[in-house]
Structure 1
Amino acid sequence: MANRERNKKILLELVKQPDNSTCADCGAPDPDWASYKLGVFVCLNCSGIHRNLSSRVKSIKLDFWEDALVEFMKSKGNANVRAQYEKAVPVYYYRPQQKDCAVLREQWIRAKYERMEFIGDTKYPPLCYTTGEGDLTLFFHLLKNFTKGPKAVISIKDLNATFQPERIGHPHGLQLTYQEDNHIRNLYVYHESPEEIVTWYNAIRAARYAYLKTAYPTGSNEELIPKITRNYLKEGFMEKTGPLQKETFKKRWFILDSQDRKLLYFKGQLDAEELGVVFIGTESNGYSVKECVPKNARGNKWKCGVLVETPERQFVFMCEQEREQKEWLDALRQVLFRPMAPQDYTSKQGCRNYAHTHTLTFPDKRKPRVSEVSSLQGLRTAPCL
């Protein structure tokens, strides 16, 4: 009969090894589950996905392990299994992390172990994603307008895709962000098939990677891969007042895009177009971020202030709780303390041009367009949430 304590001790020693000390699928630290069909150590969240795949999982600490299964785990391990199942992962294919949404993690696991897409004999990379044909644009068709042609033509140059299931209200919700007439434009889509929406996401990443390789021919993969798509550093509601700091505070939805050094604000979470953009430079260029208590302001329900100072003006924002205030300060300072790259100066100039156009063309009473939330199957139109 197997020695329960001895086998548990062996497994705990195995999981301390560098290759096994993080989840084989999402990188979460200290995995305490294992797939004894595959021979990998995984976290609790990923173990549930493996169980749905009939992958046979056990708790390292709580379950009984037979001698033969322990020997199998010793012969495999995360590194050996990755060498087999991740042999041919395309450089642009997104590898989910611990905090990523469920659909990304599940489809990554299914792609590896169920569909075996990366073992070498693989459908990746699809030809149309990598040849750079045409001008590298994506065409999205709304079926209700199909006879009228494309609803939107989105240049790959400025396109970003990020999963937003909670905000969109669908587990497979994807936010597409791009430039249109000097404004940031949002399009919200989803697909009922989790595999299909993740395939779209990686198709966009493939096209973006092809564009970046053309635009930055000397750039290494280490430099280009983080630029393919990115999650936003911080999102959430804050209250905002005007430039005189005497105007009534209004609740706005904020997004901090650390790559472009931009803090964007919208009237609501699903607005198609931003109300304004604040460029976040460096301290040496006259930018600062700190706590504040506003004076002479009206209508602020929240009391935890954030002051963003630029060479042109001061911005006062209010958070509901101290925790949110600290998170915004920390996120803004991450951008503030990062040296500016040459392309950041172009982005900064774009923000200045935008501010000038915004002032002349769109007064404060301008109403933002509310984005459509659509089913991505062409796209199929769905009711706005």
Structure 2
Amino acid sequence: MTSELEKNRQRLKELLEKPGNGTCADCGASDPEWASYTLGVFLCHSCSGLHRNIAQISKVKSLLLDPWSSSEIEFINSVGNNAAKAKYEKMVPAFYYRPTNKDCQLLRDQWIRAKYERKEFMFLEQQEPYSAGYREGFLWKRGRDNGQYLNRKFILSEREGVLKYFNKNDAREPKAIMKMDTINATFQPGKIGTPHGMQITYLKDNSTRNIFVYHEDGKEMVDWFNAIRVARLHYLQVAFPGAPDSEWLPKLTRNYLKEGYMEKTGPKHTEGFKKRWFTMDDRRLMYFKDPLDAYARGEVFIGNKDHSYSVLPILPPSVQGYHWQFGITIVTPDRKFLVTCETEKDREDWIAAFQIVLNRPMLPQEYAVEAYFKHKP
């Protein structure tokens, strides 16, 4: 009997060597150690847990710990990751966000449900909720001053190129109008404190404005996210005709390069250091008193290293008044910004994030943003 188990285990190992099977079928994580013996796909540990949510469709087993029958192995051999993708991901729209193993659980869970449970990418009519170009509904929005969540009506109109929300159901005028040229949406469950929490940012008078929203229904939330992405794509196609979609797809929405607490001092470097929440978003380094503040206390533009921008893993020797020991000096053409991190690891991570931005060539539109920062009152 043991030899039969051993033989099957060996067979599974061989199947993992086949093209496509060496990464998770759903998030792309390497070296999957689980598989669905009803769908015929190899999965990482994390996605195998999400497959348990659709147990009527997908039944999972560990490749290493569970016994496998010859018929289950034959079924997996007849399908495999590449064939399953060809079937279940046949019509994934270009704008649709495909989560990776680094993304939050909500995005991965809804991707798995969309593929296997709702079969959204096998039949185009299943994609209506997010590809229609118009969407309205209610989301819970965090109040700017008191932090309470209130039910607010949101309307996304691709034709107008805006997302807007209303404070009262029957209000004629929206409380805010967010234009598609500067809007971004990113899931922030940890920061917001709810698994479906999303942060929407847009520019208002060239300063970043944050709003925080969620919906109890995970599908509803991910549909809103993809609706924003498709509206962004159509805006970019109209604004920059002739450019290939491949240029815009990575820019429809973005996750932040890095976020976390650091301490900072003022422009004269003589004030005490204060703890602030920092967000590195594109070329804007913003700092907030609280992670859920609507507006940043300040924003710093970080350009390319060939234009007098740099970052040093030290503070000037004369500086005092800090208690976090791991300092960074951010050099811009106009001034130096001094910050400190709590641990050496934090400092290394922040410097790595800054280096990504410093090494990236400046885009034409980024010179205009830089000019605005230089002449800001």
Matched, 1:209 2:233: yes
- Mapped partners of 2:167, 2:215: distance in 1: 13
2:133 and 2:159 in contact (8 A); partners too: no
Amino acid at match of 2:164: F
Match of 1:104 in 2: 107
**How many angstroms does 1:23 deviate by?**
0.6
Residue of 355, 361, 372 corresponding to 1:333:
355
- Mapped partners of 1:3, 1:272: distance in 2: 62
1:237 and 1:319 in contact (8 A); partners too: yes
Residue of 113, 123, 127 corresponding to 2:132:
127
Residue of 136, 148, 161 corresponding to 2:161:
136
Q: Structure 2: any 5+ residue segments left out of the alignment? A: 136-155
1:302 and 1:319 in contact (8 A); partners too: yes
Amino acid at match of 1:274: A
Match of 2:23 in 1: 22
- Mapped partners of 1:35, 1:13: distance in 2: 16
Please, what TM-score do these two structures have when normalized by structure 2?
0.89
**How many angstroms does 1:148 deviate by?**
5.5
1:36 and 1:58 in contact (8 A); partners too: yes
- Which aligned pairs between 1:189-208 and structure 2 lie closer than 5 A? 189-208=213-232
Residue of 267, 270, 274 corresponding to 1:243:
267
Q: What SS does structure 2 have at the residue aligned with 1:179?
A: strand
Match of 2:333 in 1: 311
Q: Structure 1: any 5+ residue segments left out of the alignment? A: 358-385
Q: What SS does structure 1 have at the residue aligned with 2:171?
A: helix
CA gap 1:146/1:318 in 2 versus in 1, 3 angstroms: farther
Q: What SS does structure 1 have at the residue aligned with 2:201?
A: strand
1:132 and 1:210 in contact (8 A); partners too: no
Q: What SS does structure 2 have at the residue aligned with 1:274?
A: coil
1:184 and 1:274 in contact (8 A); partners too: yes
Q: What SS does structure 2 have at the residue aligned with 1:34?
A: strand
Q: What SS does structure 2 have at the residue aligned with 1:11?
A: helix
Match of 1:254 in 2: 278
List per-residue Cα deviations over 1:238-286 (Å, max 9, x = no partner). Answer: 111112211211111111113xx12111121011011221111122211
- Mapped partners of 2:158, 2:213: distance in 1: 25
1:22 and 1:29 in contact (8 A); partners too: yes
Match of 1:274 in 2: 296
Match of 1:160 in 2: 184
Residue of 240, 245, 249 corresponding to 1:225:
249
Amino acid at match of 1:13: E
- Mapped partners of 1:278, 1:234: distance in 2: 14
**How many angstroms does 1:211 deviate by?**
0.8
CA gap 1:79/1:335 in 2 versus in 1, 3 angstroms: same
2:158 and 2:234 in contact (8 A); partners too: no
Match of 1:289 in 2: 311
- Mapped partners of 1:129, 1:84: distance in 2: 29
Match of 1:181 in 2: 205
Residue of 58, 77, 82 corresponding to 2:80:
77
CA gap 1:30/1:129 in 2 versus in 1, 3 angstroms: farther
**How many angstroms does 1:123 deviate by?**
3.0
2:133 and 2:158 in contact (8 A); partners too: yes
Please, what TM-score do these two structures have when normalized by structure 1?
0.87
Name which structure has the greater RCO, CA cutoff 8 Å, separation 6+: 1
- Range that drifts further, 318-327 or 213-222: 213-222
List per-residue Cα deviations over 1:8-65 (Å, max 9, x = no partner). Answer: 1111121133311111111111111000110010100100111121111011111111
List per-residue Cα deviations over 1:191-215 (Å, max 9, x = no partner). Answer: 1111111111111111111111112
- Mapped partners of 2:206, 2:160: distance in 1: 20
List per-residue Cα deviations over 1:316-373 (Å, max 9, x = no partner). Answer: 11000000000001110111111222222122123223xx22xxxxxxxxxxxxxxxx
Q: What SS does structure 1 have at the residue aligned with 2:181?
A: helix
Equivalent residues, number: 352
CA gap 1:94/1:283 in 2 versus in 1, 3 angstroms: same
Residue of 245, 258, 278 corresponding to 1:234:
258
**How many angstroms does 1:129 deviate by?**
5.1
**How many angstroms does 1:293 deviate by?**
3.0
2:264 and 2:276 in contact (8 A); partners too: yes
Match of 1:378 in 2: none
CA gap 1:16/1:141 in 2 versus in 1, 3 angstroms: farther
Matched, 1:58 2:61: yes
Match of 1:345 in 2: 367
- Mapped partners of 2:350, 2:124: distance in 1: 46
1:246 and 1:296 in contact (8 A); partners too: no
Q: What SS does structure 1 have at the residue aligned with 2:313?
A: strand
